[in-house]
Amino acid sequence: MMPQLIEGEVQIWPLRLTATESVTRRFAALLTPDESQRAARFHFDHLRTSFILSHGALRIFLGRQLGLEPNQVRFKYGTKGKPDIDPTQRMTFNMSHSGEIALYAFSLDCDIGVDVERMRPVKDLSAIASRFFCPDEAEELMSLDLETREKSFFLCWTRKESFIKALGEGLSVPLDSFRVTLLPGVPAQLTYIRHENAAAKKWFLHNLEFLPDYAGAVAYSDKMRAIRLFQPLTPVDLFDMQ
């Protein structure tokens, strides 16, 4: 059984986005007509399967926490497209996916965002960092040796994306308008937002390590909470845990 959320914790669930056709059909049956139409728009089978599994899994996770059947969960969307539960609940959530992994974050009574990226060689890493990161981050990144630099790039990226997703403001928040830590051995942290340290202190960042080839981070606005990171599940595992 999946444990219920408790006060002061954040639950993080990684899910592998691979399954047989029969299992994928079981997940597809959980989607709304609108979600099914969105899935059908994908031209490539693996992208369609990832969408079906990741969105069906979200319904299973939320249904378990809310005491609902997965297909009874309803969503509403903010002005920038961030989903929330309809009607409003104490539970907040966010999801992200990259490669063959989806990552889900759940908590109570706080804005929350999560991001995951499959780590891989990045062409023009220096140019990307200079364009999107703030100058302090780009300078720190380029001070590292090549191997460490690539990992730190993804640590920085996921921390920044998780914060933006928690805000729910989408692309209207420039990535270079706030600074996060990225150096090896330095805890994940927002150091300033628009050069204001006080604003950054209202937020917490946590690094998420669950598979060697993936970087992940979660951001939330509240007092520090306990992070409960679960082992990666398969879609079959998730059905069995209901």
Alpha-carbon distance 46 to 53, whole Å? Answer: 10
Pair of tokens at residue 182? 């990225």
Tally the domains of the chain: 2
Q: What CATH number has the domain bearing residue 161?
A: 3.90.470.20
Contacts of 32 (CB under 8 A, 6+ apart): 71
pLDDT tens by residue, 113-170: 999 999 999 989 999 999 999 999 999 999 999 889 999 999 999 999 999 999 988 7
Q: What is the mean pLDDT of the chain?
A: 94
CB 102 within 8 A of CB 12: no
Are 23 and 95 within one domain? yes
User: Is 98 within a domain?
Assistant: yes
Q: Does a structural domain hold residue 3?
A: no
Domain assignment present for residue 43? The answer is yes
Assess contact for 114 and 94: CB atoms under 8 A.
Answer: yes
- Domain with 39, as residue range(s), is 9-110+227-240
pLDDT averages per 10-residue partition of the chain, 242 residues: 91 97 96 95 95 97 95 90 91 96 97 96 93 95 92 96 92 90 94 91 96 97 95 93 70
Tell me, yes or no, whether 2 lies in a domain: no
Give 72-78 contacts, CB < 8 A, sequence gap 24+. 78/168
At 35 the pLDDT is 95
The two counts, helices (H) then strands (E), for the chain are 8, 11
Q: What's the whole-model pTM score?
A: 0.96
